[in-house]
Amino acid sequence: MGGRGSLSTIVAGVLVLMALIIGVLIGATALSMVTTLGSITANHVREVGVESAMYSGLVTQGNELISTRGPITIIGAVTPKGFTWINKTTQYYVANTTEPELLLTSVGPVLLDPTQTNTNNWATPATLSNYLWHWVVAVVTTKQGQNTYSGLVEPYGSSYYIVHINPNYLVGPLTGTNAYVTKDYGVGVYGCNAVGGCPPTPPGGPVATNNYAGYWPQVSVTKINSTAVELTITFLNGTSFIRTPWYFTLYVLSQDNPTWLNPTCSGQHLTTQIPNTAPPYNPLPAPNNCTFDMRWIRYPWQQGDECYIKTSWTAGYIWCTLPNNVTYNITMNMNAPVPSNYYLIMIIQYPTYFGMVAYGDTAFAWNITGTSPNYPTWLYPPSPPANVLTPG
């Protein structure tokens, strides 16, 4: 009997020990599952928060939240201590904590994490480098308010700007608290054409657009002194226009110090007034001090602003084609030190009717380094081209 009791005691002890081991294993497995689910949940919350911020125009920097699309309502915050009711409408919020905080906002959840300084800061130099030389559409908060701007993302020093040609503007510097990209059209000619304001391509020509056909105007630059240059601009024989151009205007965008210069030009055919086809038909002021008349140029078959051919067997409007080279010799005073790098921009204006644009305009741009004119880098970005590999 004593042996049997001892054996029963041993068996019972073994069973209890096995139960304890199984319990420990189940507990460890459950704890692992809880930890994993918690990690997945946290990551999901972080991803949802970041995505919500990206698409709603929110920018997070550590424990700061900035709304670039106007005021939002912060309903409350979930912290390790529990839920805190906030109910605040603002464009700027700072969490007074050193721990992660999940904000519930009117545009979705947003995670603030003081240990993450650039959660979704699209417009810092580090992240904007992904858009370098890309043509984009971005919402930017400026001193004049918040607006949408399209153009090329280009570096100036350590900052990034959006550059657009025709209409001409430069927006920047871009930061994480004043800008975010909403559309990316890529690089080169494709992106330029998608956004607009693109010079005729291929650079140099020959090109064929709805109002200009032929080669680009030829440009040479000679430095006169520290503030002035001599420009020679030649429209080549055979260049064609949909109608006789009225005038062209020159603009200068400095790349040394990102700014539009205000040059003063002199030379034959400089004009201070442009035609006005809207009542009362009084001439209008020229766009700037570097506007040059083109109505003096004569074309075969020209009748007023049009070129019209009529023979015994045909009649109709034709493009106005230059029978020879036409050259402008221009002295341009920058009214500032001549930049070592700058864009020279030319916009050709065609006739309007009753004040309305009928044939658009044509814009050209040259990248001037010293006295050497080149085509804009942004038409063909400065990076090695990719290869296309096919089998066989």
Reported as a pLDDT band with limits 50, 70 and 90, residue 370 is very high
Pick from 46-60, 132-146, 231-245: least confident? 46-60
Instruction: Name the one residue in this structure whose structure tokens are 């009997």.
Output: 1
pLDDT at site 40:
45
My answer on whether omega of the bond before 167 falls inside 30° of 0, hence cis, is yes
Least confident window among 3-7, 297-301, 363-367:
3-7
So what's the pLDDT on residue 246? 93
Residue 8 scores a pLDDT above 70: no
- Alpha helices for 57-185 (secondary structure H): 125-128
Structure tokens at 248: 């062209």
In this predicted structure, what is the pLDDT of residue 343?
94
Give the pLDDT score at 76. 86
Closest CA to 134 of 336, 378, 390: 378
Q: Hey, which of 40-54, 88-102, 130-144 has the most confident mean pLDDT?
A: 130-144
Place of tokens 């201070």: 272
Pairing type for strands 302-303 and 264-266 reads unpaired
CA atoms of 99 and 176, how far apart (whole Å): 22
Separation between Cα atoms, residue 392 and residue 390, nearest integer Å: 7
Most confident region among 70-74, 178-182, 210-214, 386-390 by mean pLDDT: 210-214
Measured between alpha carbons, how far is 133 from 377 in angstroms, rounded to an integer? 9
Residue 344 has a pLDDT of: 96
pLDDT in tens, 84-96: 888 888 766 777 7
> Mean per-residue pLDDT for 378-384?
71
Pairwise CA distance, residues 347 & 291, whole Å = 9
Coil vs helix vs strand at 245:
coil
Q: Which of 263, 198, 199 is nearest to 231 (CA)?
A: 263
What pLDDT score was predicted for residue 182? 86
Predicted TM-score of the model (pTM): 0.67
Helix (H) or strand (E) holding 159: strand 159-164
